[in-house]
Amino acid sequence: MKDGFIRVACGSFPMKLANVPANADQIIALAKEASEAHAQVLVLSELCLTGYTIEDLFFQRRVLNEAKSQLLRIVEETEDLDLFLTIGMPIDYHNQLYNCAVMLHRGEILGVVPKINVPNYHEFYEARHFASGRDVDTFIEIADQEVPFTPYQIFEDVNHPWIKIGVEICEDVWAADTPSTHLCLAGATLIVNPSASNDLTGKADYRRLLISATSARLVCGYAYANAGLGESTTDVVFSGHHIIAENGTHLAETEYTDGLIYADMDLQKIQSERLEMTTYTNEEDYDTVLFAFDDCDLELNRYYDPHPFVPSAKEARIARCEEVFRIQTQALMQRLVASHSTKAVVGISGGLDSTLALLVVTRAFMNLGYPAEDIIAITMPCFGTTSRTKNNALTLMEELGVTSKTIDIGEAVMKHFADIGHDPDVHDVTYENCQARERTQVLMDIANQVGGLVIGTGDLSEVALGWSTYNGDHMSMYGVNCSVPKTLVRYLVDYVSSLYQGEVLEATLQDILHTPVSPELLPAQDNEIVQKTEDIVGPYELHDFFLYHHARFHHEPLKMLRIAEIAYQGVYDHETIKKWLTLFYRRFFTQQFKRSCIPDGPKVGTVALSPRGDLRMPSDADVTMWLNALNGTD
């Protein structure tokens, strides 16, 4: 259970209708198979001990008695397994028959959950056989054990309290008021569902959407095990459509085959997500049934997207870029209208961030019907500027039809060096920051001259790392890129480039895309960039990965290291990832003072660092605990 992970399995087997001993054999075999695969939870299909489709044979005393006998055998045969096993069987109680899920662990029956929503429509006439368990809340004796018999119970691992399992059965998840809703509000982090949902044209898509949406709405893990191919086909067909989902994400799925599927869930992440949801209220009317898993350090079989801000599928990526660009544009339009500004000032370096900002400004002006020439775009070459970036900046401005200005700040910076007594041959932080602050001063003063807004160009990755000069490029009147990570900026520029296919502007944007990321504050050598940002702070793809998981899920440092190694297997080794993760933590904490006073700007995704809403953090917070944990010295 290290780092909050748990391996969950769902499955079915070739059903022997009404042959309870044969079905018990297969249940025991699957339980042992799942345990050998290091699964901690196994969910089998609805009424799997007898078969779901035996109809009036449910009334046969031979079936009901044999089910109880075989349950006792299953308990005995699995008592050495550290496995939370969910099986389905009919149970008679007080002159009623109930469709139940029975939960076992290490030879103990933890509880019995009766189905609440019993269907009686179309091809399902369960109400002919089964009563609803809605009002059941008692204890029963079964397999020589007295156990709770109610749908209102949650199974909690005392050794790993983030593992809280709730149970609903098939139709329950299709109901308007699902039991899983209340189970999750009572603390359940994983819902298991033994089900028998037949196959119809289009139904698999709906079922897939239903389970995914339920796990997303409830912020939970969801394990759905459906009846398989051995069920009767007198009128309907069952496909063994098993689904394992986590907070809206499909982890595993199979259809038209019997056997087991597995997925590794992160239930600590589920807990973390809920902590930030003030609308996730608590319900107390549920019994807690305790059990104890052993500790287990899984060798994770789980995918982590190395670029969590950028969809991997091309169509989804294009749609994301279109949406983000629209949000940026709409945000700037509102700010221009609200401030009665019809002019904007943007510093253009020939790099990705300033290019994206200018593209956003031109689209906003076009939508508002403002003339492009009222956008004042300024390139300010200095000691590190290369002809490539300068020419790209000038061409970009010309192609977009904005007012272009070139202001060489070299002489002003040299004068400032003289004023403060700085040796221009000393290429230290003062040498670099004087240039950045001079550029910001020029932008601000020209904005005053024309009555416009200075549009900031810094992106989310730079905000996270504090990779900006305080009161230099750190400052603007509105920052359109402030919540766009560096890994997404590139795709946004590429997306806009595609809108100008065949034009000169497309070629310019493509060349900008292939220019190394650099602040160009150190002197160029042979007209080539010598100061490459990623050589200094590390790969932006790593920092964006760290940022996403740190801000969204608040992982422990060693867990962050672990999942990064999975995401970047074969790309970066352990020491490289650890090196840049250490730097990420140091900079993220020490640079909060810059974030505390950043300009307004639009939030475009789930991760943003505005001090006004998304990250309220003291500027003097101590990073020691995170670094100690990462180094194993806490």
35-58, pLDDT tens digit by residue?
Answer: 999 999 999 999 999 999 999 999
Residues 353 and 483 in one domain: yes
pTM here is 0.91
Cβ neighbour number for residue 439 with a 10 Å cutoff: 23
| Contact between 354 and 455 (Cβ < 8 Å) | no
Tell me how far apart the alpha carbons of residues 527 and 525 are, in angstroms, rounded to a whole number.
Answer: 5
pLDDT at 531: 66
Of 10, 66, 100, 115, which residue is the catalytic one?
A: 115
Burial class (CB in 10 A: 0-12, 13-18, 19+), 267: buried
**Residue 463 CA, distance from chain mean position:** 21
pLDDT tens for each residue of 460-487: 999 999 999 999 999 999 999 999 999 9
Tell me how far apart the alpha carbons of residues 79 and 73 are, in angstroms, rounded to a whole number.
Answer: 10
Helix, strand or coil, per DSSP, at residue 239: coil
Number of domains within the chain: 2
For β-strands 108-114 and 96-105, DSSP reports them as antiparallel
| Contact between 137 and 144 (Cβ < 8 Å) | no
Task: Report the percent of the chain where pLDDT is more than 70.
Answer: 98
Instruction: Kindly state the helix (H) or strand (E) to which residue 345 belongs, with its residue range.
Output: strand 344-347
Task: Report the percent of the chain where pLDDT is more than 90.
Answer: 85
CATH of residue 216's domain is 3.60.110.10
Residues 273 and 409 in one domain: no
Residues 197 and 342 in one domain: no
| Contact between 349 and 521 (Cβ < 8 Å) | no
- DSSP per-residue letters across 461-493: HHHHHT-S-TTTTT--SEETTTT--HHHHHHHH
Tell me how far apart the alpha carbons of residues 525 and 291 are, in angstroms, rounded to a whole number.
Answer: 67
Whether the pLDDT of residue 179 is over 90: the answer is yes
Q: Of 136-150, 195-209, 474-488, which gets the smallest average pLDDT? A: 195-209
| Contact between 126 and 90 (Cβ < 8 Å) | no
Q: Which domain does 217 fall in, by range? A: 2-291
| Contact between 162 and 188 (Cβ < 8 Å) | no
- Where is the domain boundary, 291, 326, 341? 291
Arithmetic mean of pLDDT, 233-243: 89
Tell me how far apart the alpha carbons of residues 593 and 133 are, in angstroms, rounded to a whole number.
Answer: 57
Phi/psi of residue 50, nearest 5 degrees: -110, -25
Whether the pLDDT of residue 453 is over 70: the answer is yes
Whether the pLDDT of residue 517 is over 80: the answer is no
Residues 370 and 265 in one domain: no
Examine residue 383 and state whether it is found in any structural domain, yes or no.
yes
Question: Token digits for 364?
Answer: 């906003």
Helix, strand or coil, per DSSP, at residue 234: coil
Arithmetic mean of pLDDT, 414-425: 96
Q: 530: pLDDT confidence band, cut at 50, 70 and 90? A: low
Query: What integer best gives the mean pLDDT of the chain?
Result: 94
Q: 116: pLDDT confidence band, cut at 50, 70 and 90? A: very high
In order of 116, 265, 589, the CA distances from 152 in angstroms are 10, 24, 44
pLDDT at 502: 77
Which residue, chain included where needed, has tokens 């699964």?
A: 39
Examine residue 444 and state whether it is found in any structural domain, yes or no.
yes
Examine residue 108 and state whether it is found in any structural domain, yes or no.
yes
The answer to whether residue 184 is catalytic is no
Burial class (CB in 10 A: 0-12, 13-18, 19+), 392: buried
pLDDT at 255: 78
Question: Token digits for 561?
Answer: 């290291």
Q: 535: pLDDT confidence band, cut at 50, 70 and 90? A: confident
Examine residue 369 and state whether it is found in any structural domain, yes or no.
yes
Residues 231 and 323 in one domain: no
Of 46, 66, 126, 520, which residue is the catalytic one?
A: 46
Question: Token digits for 386?
Answer: 């290369």
The answer to whether residue 322 is catalytic is no
Question: Token digits for 370?
Answer: 């403002």
pLDDT at 525: 74
Residues 211 and 257 in one domain: yes
Closest CA to 247 of 279, 272, 222, 278: 222
pLDDT at 592: 97
Arithmetic mean of pLDDT, 313-333: 96
Q: 586: pLDDT confidence band, cut at 50, 70 and 90? A: very high
Residues 16 and 151 in one domain: yes
Cβ neighbour number for residue 82 with a 10 Å cutoff: 17
Whether the pLDDT of residue 526 is over 70: the answer is no
Examine residue 300 and state whether it is found in any structural domain, yes or no.
no
Question: Who has greater pLDDT, 47 or 533?
Answer: 47
Arithmetic mean of pLDDT, 277-289: 84
Instruction: Kindly state the helix (H) or strand (E) to which residue 191 belongs, with its residue range.
Output: strand 190-194
Whether the pLDDT of residue 181 is over 90: the answer is yes
What are the beta bridge partners of residue 250? 245
Non-local (6+) Cβ contacts of 622 within 8 A are 589
pLDDT at 257: 79
| Contact between 27 and 45 (Cβ < 8 Å) | no
pLDDT at 519: 67
Q: 72: pLDDT confidence band, cut at 50, 70 and 90? A: very high
Residues 184 and 321 in one domain: no
Cα angle value 514/519/525 (rounded, 5°) = 80
The answer to whether residue 46 is catalytic is yes
Question: Token digits for 163?
Answer: 């593992």
Arithmetic mean of pLDDT, 208-237: 93
pLDDT at 124: 64
The one-letter code for the residue type at 391 is: N
pLDDT at 1: 74
Residues 275 and 362 in one domain: no
Q: What is the 3-state secondary structure (H, E, C) of 510-577?
A: HHHHCCCCCCCCCCCECCECCCCHHHHHCCHHHHHHHHHHHHHHCCCHHHHHHHHHHHCCCCCCHHHH
Residues 232 and 98 in one domain: yes
Whether the pLDDT of residue 428 is over 80: the answer is yes
Closest CA to 199 of 233, 247, 165, 176: 233
Examine residue 297 and state whether it is found in any structural domain, yes or no.
no
Examine residue 303 and state whether it is found in any structural domain, yes or no.
no
Of 48, 100, 170, 184, which residue is the catalytic one?
A: 170
Tell me how far apart the alpha carbons of residues 497 and 503 are, in angstroms, rounded to a whole number.
Answer: 9
- Where is the domain boundary, 229, 260, 291? 291
**Residue 378 CA, distance from chain mean position:** 39
Examine residue 25 and state whether it is found in any structural domain, yes or no.
yes
CATH of residue 379's domain is 3.40.50.620
Question: Who has greater pLDDT, 524 or 462?
Answer: 462
Cβ neighbour number for residue 99 with a 10 Å cutoff: 28
Residues 378 and 265 in one domain: no
| Contact between 228 and 258 (Cβ < 8 Å) | yes
Residues 285 and 323 in one domain: no
